[in-house]
Homo-oligomer: A and B are copies of this chain.
Amino acid sequence: MNLKRYLPILQWAPQYGRSQATSDLVAAVIVTVMLIPQSLAYALLAGLPAQVGLYASILPLVIYAVFGTSRTLSVGPVAVVSLMTAAALAPLADAGSPEYMAGAVLLAVISGLMLTLMGFLRLGFLANFLSHPVISGFISASGIVIAASQLKHVLGVQASGQNLLTIGQSLIRSASDINLPTLAIGAGALLFLVFARKQLKPLLVRFDVSSGIADILTKTAPILAVLVTTLVAWQFQLDQQGVRLVGIVPSGLPDLTLPSLDWELWQQLAVSALLISVVGFVESVSVGQTLAAKRRQRIDPDQELIGLGTANLGAGLSGGMPVTGGFSRSVVNFDAGAETPAAGAYTAIGIALATLFLTPAIAYLPQATLAATIIVAVSSLIDLPALGRTWRYSRPDFGAMLATIVLTLAHSVEAGIIAGVVLSLGLFLYRTSRPHSAVVGRVPGTEHFRNIRRHQVEICPQVAFLRVDESLYFANARFLEETVMDLAACEPELTDFVLVCPAVNLVDASALESLEAINERLQDAGVRLHLSEVKGPVMDRLQRTEFLSHLGGQVFLSTYEAWQVLAGDCELSKGLA
């Protein structure tokens, strides 16, 4: 039982049959064709030699098939994590240098260890603290930074930078160096890919190609662009025209690499590795859960941590780079009919074969083509209208989202995600520290009590019913004291004060002290404090203290009961509608 939890492969492998194998194989072929240019491109984006992307697409996929719980997640290099890898390594070494590659390996290993440990500690819930607007803003902004960072390859110029400002400056400075053959290749590939994404499928369908096959053909557009531009570059020896090619890629499977044991380097990379882990995990779990729900399957976030963690360890030990479950590739895998994680293992075999036999051909692949595939891939991640939707619904959410986007664009991906998390938590805490509260009265003829400012209700001048719409804890304890005492001070006729508690889910030690203080001060003023609708768990806890014996009034099960007892003979007046 426990073994099955930690080795999810045992849940599906024993029943694995021929029909599943066929579906998985078909999906694997399609994903492999898609993954070859992607893995090369994302390695490039991360500032690494192209083969590193291939290496990161072999062992991690096999390991995830053993330890992962999603049936259809496609693990490997992804855009955002590659961008974060580049951002983490840029201050440490020159892109492409041996130190830089060692850094990428170490980043994968540290991230792998962190994720695996978090999985054993069942910390999957931590991902919940990234709010949707922050994730959405972060992904959009990262997409923009990634697209901008690829423009230099399309233009054939030298440029650098980790955010929109530095990249933009760098591009402007080198604008006069544009290489026209590169631009022709890059812009051509870009136009073709955009056309394929937007219009190829309807066109094929109009020519009587079945919708399914049209879909698959559309997905092969990137590999087609790769093939055509590689052939062109080879035929016309474009490298002599200044077109930058991928160049000689060592052929053969990756060797086992051991991570650096330089403790200082571990410390320098720790924060980046943590952020890469969390962002990768959130991306992976989001897509995994969405796809699982469609087939009424479930994924286990804690085991996913272990699956992704071990996959990253595998990536590190085979000379790769940090990996996670990619959004678009997983959707393709799902749509292509993958039924089990075996599809991932078959994809790994496909990539391994490519690494063994296709690397000579890759030498002539123009970098501009890879840049074009990245730009088109990330453009679908950018969702700026979400800003408007969020603004209309919730200003605090909008604030957190905007801060994430602005800092990611203008400073760095790490600052963006940290600002988003801190701000969204801070705003939540701020809101709970100034809770909404309402003086309530009885909806006539019912046992229901509502805000006297919103509803036509009955009120009794001698009895105040105050509903506090928040758990009572240290951040709002003082606020509660002030609210109650201000209200009591305004109502000279008052004899009874009922705190209506259906929204109070917690009374912590600080709030308990405040309740004691309120009770005492009301008693001094000749007013009895009562509670109503106190929830079971809160009541259990209060009963362990002396508060209830000090309480001037009583605890009523329902507010209506309190109303009957305290306001039974009251001369009622009407609240405002």
Contact A509-B433, Cβ < 8 Å, known A446-B558, A448-B560: no
Which residue on chain B has the smallest CB distance to residue A430? B125
Which residue on chain B has the smallest CB distance to residue A129? B475
Contact partner of A505 among B125, B393, B503, B545, CB < 8 A? B503
Is A293 part of the binding interface, using a Cβ–Cβ cutoff of 8 Å?
yes
B433 pairs with A560, CB closer than 8 A: no
Is A537 part of the binding interface, using a Cβ–Cβ cutoff of 8 Å?
yes
Q: Enumerate chain B residues within 8 angstroms of A10, measured Cβ to Cβ.
A: none
Is A536 part of the binding interface, using a Cβ–Cβ cutoff of 8 Å?
yes
Is A454 part of the binding interface, using a Cβ–Cβ cutoff of 8 Å?
yes
Is A473 part of the binding interface, using a Cβ–Cβ cutoff of 8 Å?
yes
B125 pairs with A434, CB closer than 8 A: yes
Q: Which of A400-459 contact B (CB under 8 A)?
A: 424-425, 428-429, 431-436, 438, 443, 446-448, 450-451, 454
A397 pairs with B558, CB closer than 8 A: no
A393 pairs with B469, CB closer than 8 A: no
Contact partner of A393 among B454, B471, B473, B512, CB < 8 A? B512
A434 and B133 CA atoms in complex are apart in Å by: 20
Contact partner of A448 among B424, B447, B509, CB < 8 A? B447
Query: A295 CB to closest chain B CB, in angstroms?
Result: 13
Interface magnitude class on chain A:
35 or more
Contact A505-B469, Cβ < 8 Å, known A132-B510, A521-B293: yes
Contact A536-B454, Cβ < 8 Å, known A394-B509, A505-B470: yes
Is A206 part of the binding interface, using a Cβ–Cβ cutoff of 8 Å?
no
A469 and B291 CA atoms in complex are apart in Å by: 30
Copies in the complex: 2
Contact A129-B433, Cβ < 8 Å, known A469-B535, A502-B503, A558-B448: yes
Is A247 part of the binding interface, using a Cβ–Cβ cutoff of 8 Å?
no
A397 pairs with B509, CB closer than 8 A: yes
**9-residue interface stretch from A67-75, A185-193, A222-230, A476-484:** A476-484
A428 and B477 CA atoms in complex are apart in Å by: 14
Q: Which of A110-142 contact B (CB under 8 A)?
A: 125, 128-134
Contact partner of A560 among B392, B429, B446, CB < 8 A? B446
Is A513 part of the binding interface, using a Cβ–Cβ cutoff of 8 Å?
yes
Is A506 part of the binding interface, using a Cβ–Cβ cutoff of 8 Å?
yes
Apart from A132-B477, A429-B429, A432-B471: 6 A-B pairs, beta carbons within 8 A? A128-B474, A130-B474, A393-B512, A447-B560, A470-B505, A502-B503
Can you identify 23 A-B contacts, CB atoms within 8 angstroms? A128-B478, A129-B429, A131-B474, A131-B475, A131-B508, A132-B477, A132-B509, A133-B510, A134-B474, A393-B509, A394-B509, A397-B510, A428-B475, A431-B506, A436-B535, A443-B557, A446-B447, A447-B447, A447-B560, A448-B558, A450-B557, A502-B533, A503-B503
**Chain A residues near B (Cβ < 8 Å):** 125, 128-134, 293, 390, 392-394, 396-397, 424-425, 428-429, 431-436, 438, 443, 446-448, 450-451, 454, 469-471, 473-479, 502-506, 508-510, 512-513, 521, 533, 535-537, 541, 544-545, 557-558, 560
